[in-house]
Amino acid sequence: MSLFFILFLCSAGFAADESVNEEIDGLKRRLSELEEQVARPPTKRGNEYNPRMTVIGDFAGRLDNRVVTNDENREISNRMNMRELELDIRGDVDPYAKAVAITSVSQDAPNSDAKIGLEEVYAILTKMPRRTSLKAGKFRTGFGSLNQVHAHDQPQTTLPLPIVRFFGEDGITSEGLSFNYLMPLQQPGQSVNLTMEVFNAENPVLFSDTADRGMGYLVRGKYFSDLSDQEFIEIGTSMMVGHNDAIGKQTTHLWGGDFMYKWRALQPKNLWSTLIQGEFFYMNREDDAVQVRKRNAWGAYGLVQLQPAQQWYVGGRYDVAQNLADKYRVDRKIGGYVSFYTTEFLRFRLGYEYQNTAGPRIDSTPGQDLSTVYAQMTFVFGSHPAEPYWVNK
């Protein structure tokens, strides 16, 4: 009897061991299946790639001390104007690419015809080797820092004088390719970003408005460094070149340098910040119409912005730029602003700018001045990114 009991226990033990082994084998097979699934690119179906849509409205009014007209000779002084309504659509195309489509309806002046345009439409290939990416489509070129920022994201109601002088009132946007390489450095918190672009040289201010404009080329390098948990700096340099005539004989070169310092308090709750930003531009434009065959001009601006409380920003900017037609005439502008955010989706801004539009000449002869008070309201609705107050982008 005892022998039979011992044999029964042994057989039960063997059966238990066999059951455990079968369970282990099953777990191994399941683990192998999961590893294969992870190794394969994820398959998305249905509406999982639906894009995020955001609408941005920009409304502004101005009071001027004299009559002001735009490039179409329409009066824009002492007016209120719905400057722009922008639709921002972006999302994942597939596991290898993202896409952005930004269209806008804008007015240059009150009661003028609305213009519908493609601000930016491009795709970015993100799964490229060695921290590289490729952007293709229509986009804001990577020259400097503020040109890459849309109007509603800019810290002031107007663009700095040098950007308007060299690129036009809307900056420079074109169709092309942009290759980007992010190179981390050995020191933690430091990196170098290299950008190369080829694009249609169709900007009428910088290049030409003739039928055959050819291609433009851009090279940019940017150094980034975390100075501490609360502050960082960015230092960049850019170069752009392209033909400015119909036969590809004359060339425009533009060089630039930019700097940004930002400090943001960790406590209490990121309520305070300081931003210092500036850019310098130098243009060399070949022109057979002038005796020396070259037009040279330079410009620069400096911006300081303080955040004394979570919802308030106050800042000032100084601009200087040579006149492209007469380098002995230097235009200057100085202004300040106060911005208030009810939330990250609604901003009110009040600003003042003084501009000496025709000088003063280097021989100290004063030019005609312009004083303008701006009031601006910018609102965002839809799938806006969860960011605190988009002026900090």
The answer to whether residues 320 and 331 touch, using CB atoms and an 8 Å cutoff, is yes
Q: Residue 3 above 50 pLDDT? A: no
- Indicate if 222 and 169 belong to the same structural domain: yes
pLDDT digits (tens, 9 = 90+) for 136-159: 999 999 999 889 888 888 888 999
| Tens digit of each residue's pLDDT (9 = 90 or more) over 184-204 | 888 888 899 999 999 998 888
Q: Give strand pairing partners of 87.
A: 55, 103
Structure-token pair, residue 164: 């308007």
User: Residue 308 domain-assigned?
Assistant: yes
- 210 with 329, same domain: the answer is yes
Task: Indicate whether 30 and 60 sit together in one domain.
Answer: no
Residue 87 domain-assigned (yes or no): no
Whether 378 maps to a domain, the answer reads yes
- Strand pairing partners for 393? none
Looking at per-residue pLDDT, the higher value among 253 and 5 belongs to 253
pLDDT of residue 393: 43
How confident is the model over 116-121, as a mean pLDDT?
A: 89
Lowest average pLDDT, out of 15-29, 44-58, 63-77, 314-328, goes to: 15-29
Q: In this structure, what CATH number is given to the domain that contains residue 206?
A: 2.40.160.10
Of 333, 335, 336, the C-alpha closest to 321 is 333
Contact 251, 286 (CB under 8 A): yes
Range of the domain at 145: 55-79+121-392
pLDDT of the residue at 385: 59
Q: Phi first, then psi: what are they for 304, rounded to 5°? A: -130, 130
Mean pLDDT of 111-115: 72
Question: DSSP string covering 119-178, please?
Answer: EEEEEEE---STTEEEEEEEEE--SSSGGGS-GGGSSSSS--HHHHHHH-TT--EEEEEE
Same-domain status, 256 and 125:
yes
Decide which of 183 and 338 is more confident.
Answer: 338
pLDDT per position as a tens digit, 37-58: 655 555 544 445 678 899 999 9
Report whether the peptide linkage leading into residue 162 is cis, meaning its omega lies within 30 degrees of zero. no
Same domain assignment for residues 321 and 347: yes
Mean pLDDT computed over every residue of the chain: 81
Query: What is the pLDDT averaged over residues 164-188?
Result: 89
pLDDT in tens, 218-256: 999 999 998 888 899 999 999 999 888 776 678 889 999
Residues 24 and 60 grouped into a single domain: no
149 within domain boundaries: yes
pTM of the prediction? 0.79
1, 67: one domain: no
Q: What is the number of structural domains in the chain?
A: 2
Percentage of the chain exceeding pLDDT 90: 37
- For 55, 143, 196, 209, the CA distances from 167, given in Å and listed in that order, are 26, 10, 19, 13
Q: Which residues contact 249 (CB under 8 A, 6 or more apart)?
A: 243, 288
* 82, β-bridge pairs: 59
Q: What is the pLDDT of residues 122-136, one digit of tens each?
A: 999 988 888 899 999
In a domain, 221, yes or no: yes
Do 65 and 36 fall within a single domain? no
With 70 as the cut, is the pLDDT of residue 285 above it?
yes
CA 116 remoteness from chain centre: 21
Contact 251, 244 (CB under 8 A): yes
Is residue 301 pLDDT above 60, yes or no? Answer: yes
Q: Are residues 183 and 278 in the same domain?
A: yes
Q: Does residue 105 form part of some domain?
A: no
| pLDDT tens column, 86-98 | 999 998 888 889 9
* Within-domain flag for 282: yes
- Pair 32, 65 in one domain: no
Do residues 205 and 233 share a domain? yes
Residue 180 lies in a domain: yes
Q: Do both 208 and 252 map to the same domain? A: yes
pLDDT in tens, 307-325: 988 889 999 999 999 887 7
pLDDT value, residue 6: 47
pLDDT at res. 362: 45
Cα separations in angstroms, 46 against 50, 151, 358: 9, 35, 59
Residue bearing the bigger pLDDT, 175 or 15: 175
Mean pLDDT of 156-165: 91
